[in-house]
Every structure is written in structure tokens, then in C-alpha cells.
Structure 1
Amino acid sequence: MGIKKQMGMGIMSAALGLSLIGGGTYAYFSDSEQTQNTFAAGTLDLSVDPTTIVDVDELAPGDEIVRDFELQNGGTMDIRKVYLETDYMVNDANGDNTGDFGEHIQVQFLYNADKTDEVVFETTLADLKDMSPEAVNESIFYPEFGEQGLESGSRDDLVVKFKFIDNGEDQNQFQGDSLQLNWTFNAEQGEGEEK
């Protein structure tokens, strides 16, 4: 056999071998599966009952009003922190106010009635308005709820006492005045966790 024939046979053998190797790749068994995955976000749902905590007339210096209200977590996630923002408007009936009526309204947050009447935190409406929401949480809600916060599906009663401070001085400027108090409760979840 000539060299050309041997080379031709070698090339044909190599081509046949490559075609068998390539064809053999498609001869293996194979299978595939798909998975269906879901990511669903939880909910935070903080509510206050009643929505009007205090509505009182005819206040005089020295008068006290005790009211209780309930914070409810109707969401699927635990609430770790509750922030309270305070705002108020004073209606000066006679136009003679030289002071802020909010400085004369003392606020005491008490442990709920099931526990004790111990004061958790005490301040005036004016000072409460100037506090940061984080400071309010640390002073009022953290002592009440502790580390666990307000768990999903739970509720907690809070008691608040308002007092028109009798400072022993002339407070005639506040006769007939009214104060519209707005409290905004904001809930925040805790840190994420491994699921």
C-alpha cells in the first residue's frame, strides 16, 4: 500500500472515530426538573383603639384625666418598636396667651391596669412634642413591651394620665382655650432573621 493510501485510510479512521465520539455524547440519558418558588412579604398592621383617646371640656388647673387605650398588632410580623409623634394646636380663645398651653399639660404614661399604676414616663405635652420618636420609644414603649416588642396578633393596654398643672400662679390666659392633640403611632419591624 502506498503512502497516499495509508494516509487516506488514517484520515478516514480518525474521522470515523471522531464521529463515534461525537455521536456517543448524545447517547447519554438526561432529565430536567423545574421548581416553583414564592417570596411573600409579611405585613405590619398597628392599630389604636379607641382612635380618640381623650375628649374633655371644662378643664381647670389641677384636673386630671386618666384614659386607657389599646395598641393592636393585626399584621403577620412582630412589631419591634413603636414610635410616637406628638403634635398639637392651641386655640387661644381670647388672644391673650403669653405662654404655651402645652407646657401646662402634664402627661404620665402608666403601666397598664393589669400590672400596676407605676409611672413609666412623665413629661409635658410641649416636651413630648420636642422629643425624637426614638427617645419616646425608649422611654415609653420599650419599658412596656420589652425586647419582644408587640408580637403578631397581640394587643396591649396602655394607660395615660393627663393633668392640667396648677402652678400656683395666674393662669387666666388659658380660660376658654382648647388644645387639639394629635398622636401618630408608627410601627417598625425588627431585624430580619434566617428563615
Structure 2
Amino acid sequence: MSVKKKLGLGIAAAALGISLVGGGTFAYFSDTEVSNNTFAAGTLDLAVNPSVVIDVDNLKPGDVMVREFALENNGSLDISTIDLATAYNVVDANGDNTDDFGKHIKVLFLENADKTGDGWVIGDYNDIISETTLYDLQNMTPDAVENLNHWITELLGLGGEDSGLAAGATDSMYVAFEFVDNEKDQNEFQGDALELEWTFTAHQTEGEER
């Protein structure tokens, strides 16, 4: 075969190859759609109103103090539990204390009125805390939004909210403190102060299929 024929066949083969490549690249239909998606997290936003539950001075043994406050869920997520932690600091005015002032301050009750429902009528209170000193309360973490008597309120149809705190909801709380008069010499506490810190920690409900 002459050089001209070989050259001609090579050019023809190259042209055919380009044609096939072109056909393989563009000889089909296509369609494209874009999906834009979003994952937005909710919020837990617990408020205590007022933030200072009690501020009292000039106390003497035997005094009882009743206060009202609210737990507010200002977030977008339901709250399952609210743990209450207790810590305090005693300011010993005279440096003569032989006992812990916290053993002489008693929490008579911490009542969640919204969980009680009509139980107020029959005295079936939902006491989150009942008859304990601040000293002992340091080792407890009660759930401030638990319905402790749900089986009674359901059985008798007395109402009362379920445990937890729904988004946008508020629970009314009542608390009573007592400076216990133990009928003994308590002069060491004259002029002393007890600085109480209550920390409320909210927890989310369980995850679910969405």
C-alpha cells in the first residue's frame, strides 16, 4: 500500500473516532433538580421569675417565710425534668459558730401547684421538697416539674399537669422556709447570714422520629 493510501486511511479513521466520541458524549437526554434542605435545632430556655426567690433579714428562731415564684419554659422545646441543686454559704458574723446554720433553716415544702390540680381541695399536694433542712437538701436533686401524685390525680380525675414543662408553659411554685427554734441556745447565729443558691437545670425530652 502506498504512503498516500496509508495516510488517507489514517485521516479517515481519526475522523471516525472523533465522530464516535462526539456521539458518545452528547447522544442522551438529561434533567437536573436541586433539593435544598435545612436542619434547625430547637432551644431550651428556662427562666425563674423572680430570679431572687427570697431575700429577708432580721430573722429570729421560729420565723416562717412563704414565697411564690414561677418556672417558665421560654424555649421552643419541651422540658422533661428540671433538677434542683442546693448550695449555700454561711457568713459567721462573730466567728463563734460550732454548728452549721444550714441545719437550722428548714424547707417546709416546695409545692408545684400546676401539678397538683384539684388536689388542693383534698390536701393532696405535689410537694417537690417536704420537711428537710438546707444542710440535707445539698445531697438531693429533686425534679421541680415532676407530678409525684399522677396515679392519684388520674384515678380520682383531679386534673393536674403531667410531669415536665411544655414549651411556652409556666409552673407556679410555692415554697416555705423556717428558721427552726430548737428551744436551745442558738445565740451563735446572731448576726449571721446564709447565702442560698438554687440552680435549676432543665433537660430535653427524648428524641423522636420526625
Give me the TM-score of the superposition, normalised by structure 2: 0.74
- Is residue 79–residue 190 contact of structure 1 (8 Å, CA) maintained in 2? yes
Query: Where in structure 2 are the equivalents of 1:113-152 lying within 5 Å?
Result: 115=117, 116=120, 118=125, 119-122=127-130, 123-131=132-140, 133=141, 136-137=142-143, 140-143=144-147, 147-152=162-167
Give the distance between the partners of 1:120 and 1:80, measured in 2 at CA.
15
Alignment of 1:155-194 (within 5 A): 155-194=170-209
CA contact (8 A) 1:76 1:153 kept: yes
Q: Is the CA contact 1:82–1:186 (under 8 Å) kept in the aligned structure 2?
A: yes
CA distance in 2, matches of 1:148, 1:27: 65
Does 2:113 match 1:112? Answer: yes
What is the root-mean-square deviation in Å for CA atoms of aligned residues? 2.8
Q: Which amino acid aligns with 2:145?
A: F
Specify the code of the residue in structure 2 equivalent to 1:100.
Answer: D
Matches of 1:103 and 1:141, distance apart in 2: 26
**In structure 2, how many angstroms separate the alpha carbons of the residues matched to 1:79 and 1:68?**
21
* Structure 2: runs of 5 or more not aligned: 1-15, 149-159
SS of the aligned residue for 2:138 comes to helix
SS in 2 for 1:173: helix
Secondary structure at the aligned position of 1:188 is classed as strand
Q: Distance in 1 between matches of 2:97 and 2:179?
A: 16
Tell me how far 1:164 sits from its aligned partner: 0.9
Q: CA deviation at 1:23?
A: 3.6
Question: In the TM superposition, what is the alpha-carbon distance from 1:190 to its structure 2 partner?
Answer: 1.2
Cα shift at 1:147: 4.9
Alignment correspondent of 1:49: 49
- Paired residue total: 179
Shift in Å, 1:112 = 2.2
CA separation of 1:146 and 1:102: change in aligned 2, threshold 3 A: farther
The Cα of 1:121 is off from its aligned counterpart by 2.2
